Chain A
Amino acid sequence: MSILELLTTDFILNAVIGGLILAILLSVLSLFIYVKKWSFINVGISHAAFGGLAIGYLTGISPSITGSIFAILVGVLIGFLSRKGKFHEDISIGILLSFSMAFGVILISLSNNYNSDLFSFLFGNILTITREDITILGIFTVISFGFLYIYFQRLLYCCFDEEVAKVSGVKTDFLYYSLIVLMAIAIVLSIKLVGSILASAMMILPTATSSQVFWHYRNIIISSIIVSIFVVITGIFISFEFNLPSGSTIVMVYSVIFFVITAVKRFFK
């Protein structure tokens, strides 16, 4: 089947549209994860979503909703403990990540609703993206970009030096928690693409890759978007062609690009 023929198939078309929206959204958010060195927070939140999913399976409420709420709560709690609880972020995340995973495993073992959806949740299946998912993703992306359009420079200033930004009158607490909430929702929405285990990778790899070539944030964002679009489309078609899990294939393609660029950069240095 040619690529054009594949695109006439509904579920492939949905996967491509959903994948493209996510590629753009995660590429932009990725910049802040990178400069804040929040990759571990990201991992913490994506694993926390697992606990939320388990609640969904046990109670019969939509796992996406319980996953989102749980991820946001854990994200805000990580932020709160790091800022006010005098724990280093790594400690708060380590504790909450273990708690959420343990909580999720216990709940799932109690649930009789365990089924193959759980595998999709852990490792992603982009081919299950529906029109409804795309609409939710689209609305969230528009809201996120609206927020970033207004607060982009302030967020960057906070990441650069929070104390100085505060003295300049920037509402640093508001921005800190807003970024965590955005990140938590984006992670939950990207679970269908790459699964909860690899969701954090899609928020780290874009900027980590682009910053090997570009140093300015504007160029990093533009190149991250272009590379992510390429990776998502390539990943979807490779996974379809060779019957591989979509999430793992996308992350593998991205990782290969990252390693190649890093190696080439070192070679020419």
Chain B
Amino acid sequence: MITIKGLTVIIDGKIIIEDINLDIEDGEIVAIVGPNGGGKTTLVKTLLGFIKPSSGVVYIDGKSPKEFIGEGKVGYLPQKSSYERDFPVSALDVVMFGLINEKIQKSQKLKRSIEYIKYVGMEGFENHPFGKLSGGQQQRIMIARALISQPKLLILDEPSTGIDMVAQENFYEFLKKINQEKGITVIMVSHDIGVVANYVHKVVGLNRKLHFFGKPKDFFQTNVLSQLYDSDVNLVIHSPECITCQHFTPDKLLEGFKH
């Protein structure tokens, strides 16, 4: 699905990401984790064609990001905690934005939008002002907007920003569900490794360079955390199996997963 070879991005003379090589398979959920300023958002923006590589190449289904996006096959959820409260659109309008380039009748657009609002569990909120919805509700509507064009790739930049822990876990469960039902490849940037580890197939550990690419289990097994964050790190694992959600240090993580 996505092939990245020797990708380096330099912005204003500063190396933001350096010599990244990745192969992401169709239908995978991949989390990009790493410290602030580690290049996570830059990598996402390069995948979206907003930033040109200084060197190296990025292919999505054998095409350049711009070509692939031009075909309307990407759903994107940007990093945003909330939208303008008084932006004058309804939740239904926002979902319908996702069909802006579809050459179908308005009545069909309306029908499909209502279906997707239902799919994300927001039935009854169609005619609510979008800006007045909670962070988690806005996110679901934005997901419906991203999914309605039936993309092959869903890119989410910090989807948990501005929503509480319960809403986050519901959201990741929901992502897992759409990945399984629709076979969409999902790439998401996240700060919270402890939470996303339970829901993703692979983890990309990025701090300018690629420090890790593999299964979440292996991520915690290696010494990658301290390399990635340049210091000793304690993690909080929010495993569905973990009743009390205890604190774990990297060497106790595997044990934590068994609970």
Q: Spell out A's residues near B (CB within 8 Å).
A: 31, 35, 153-154, 156-157, 159-161, 163-170, 211, 214-217, 220
By secondary structure, the A interface counts as: helix
**B residues whose Cβ falls under 8 Å from a Cβ of A:** 48, 50, 69-70, 72, 74-78, 80, 83-84, 86-90, 93-94, 96-98, 100-101, 129, 142, 145, 149
Residues on A with C-beta less than 8 A from B100 are 153-154, 157, 165, 168-170
B142: chain A residues at CB < 8 Å are 164
- State whether B129 touches A168 (Cβ < 8 A): no
Pairwise interchain contact B86-A157, C-beta atoms closer than 8 A: no
CB distance from B62 to the nearest CB of A (A): 19
Q: Which of chain B's residues has its CB closest to A86's CB?
A: B12
A211 to B89, CA, bound (A): 12
Shortest Cβ gap from A254 to chain B (Å): 19
A241 to chain B, nearest CB (A): 36
Given A216-B88, A217-B89, 13 extra CB contacts under 8 A:
A35-B84, A157-B100, A160-B87, A160-B94, A164-B76, A164-B142, A167-B75, A168-B100, A169-B101, A215-B86, A215-B129, A216-B90, A220-B88
- B74–A167 CB distance below 8 A: yes
In the complex with contacts A168-B72, A168-B98, A168-B149, A156-B89 CB distance below 8 A: yes
Inter-chain contacts of A220 with B (CB < 8 A): 88
Q: Which of B78, B94, B100, B149 has the most CB of A within 10 A?
A: B100
Task: Give 10 A-B contacts (CB < 8 Å), ordered by A residue.
Answer: A153-B97, A160-B94, A160-B97, A161-B83, A164-B97, A168-B98, A169-B69, A216-B89, A217-B89, A220-B88
Note all chain A residues with C-beta closer than 8 A to B88.
31, 35, 211, 214-217, 220
Instruction: Provide the residues of chain A in CB contact with B70, threshold 8 Å.
Output: 169
CA distance A157 to B95 in the complex (A): 11
With A167-B76, A216-B90 in contact, is A160–B98 under 8 Å at CB? no
Most chain B CB neighbours (cut-off 10 Å) among A166, A168, A215: A168
For B76, the closest partner residue in chain A by CB is A167
Q: Which residues of A contact B93 (CB under 8 A)?
A: 156, 217
Smallest CB-CB separation from B127: which chain A residue? A216
Contact between B72 and A169, CB atoms less than 8 A apart: yes
From residue A29, how far is it (CB to closest CB) to chain B in Å? 15
A160-B87, A215-B86, A216-B90 known; A167 vs B97 contact (CB < 8 Å): no
Return chain A residues, CB-CB under 8 Å to B94.
Answer: 160
Contacts of B98 in A (CB 8 A): 168
A163, closest chain B residue (CB): B78
Point out the residues of chain A lying under 8 angstroms from B129, CB to CB: 215-216
Q: Are the CB atoms of A157 and B97 closer together than 8 Å?
A: yes
**Max chain B CB contacts within 10 Å: which of A154, A156, A166, A167?**
A167
**Could you tell me the distance between the alpha carbons of A153 and B145 in the complex, rounded to whole angstroms?**
14
List the 4 closest A-B pairs by CB distance, nearest first.
A217-B88, A167-B76, A157-B97, A169-B101
Question: Which chain B residues lie closer than 8 Å to A216 at the CB level?
Answer: 88-90, 129
Q: What's the nearest-Cβ distance from chain A to residue B8, in Å?
A: 22
Nearest residue (CB) in A for B70 is A169
Residues of A with C-beta under 8 A to B101: 168-170
Distance A96 CA – B63 CA, assembled complex (angstroms): 42
Q: How far is the CA of A21 from the CA of B78 in the complex (A)?
A: 40
A164 vs B48: C-alpha distance when bound (angstroms)? 10
Complex Cα gap A169–B149 (Å): 11
Q: In whole angstroms, what is the CA distance A216 to B91 when docked?
A: 11
Complex interface: chain B residues within 8 A of A211 (CB) = 86, 88
- The residue on B at minimum CB distance from A217 is B88
Q: Which residues of B contact A214 (CB under 8 A)?
A: 88
Query: Does the CB pair B69–A161 fall under 8 Å?
Result: no
A216 to B130 CA separation, bound complex (whole angstroms): 10
Q: How far is the CB of A60 from chain B (nearest CB, A)?
A: 46
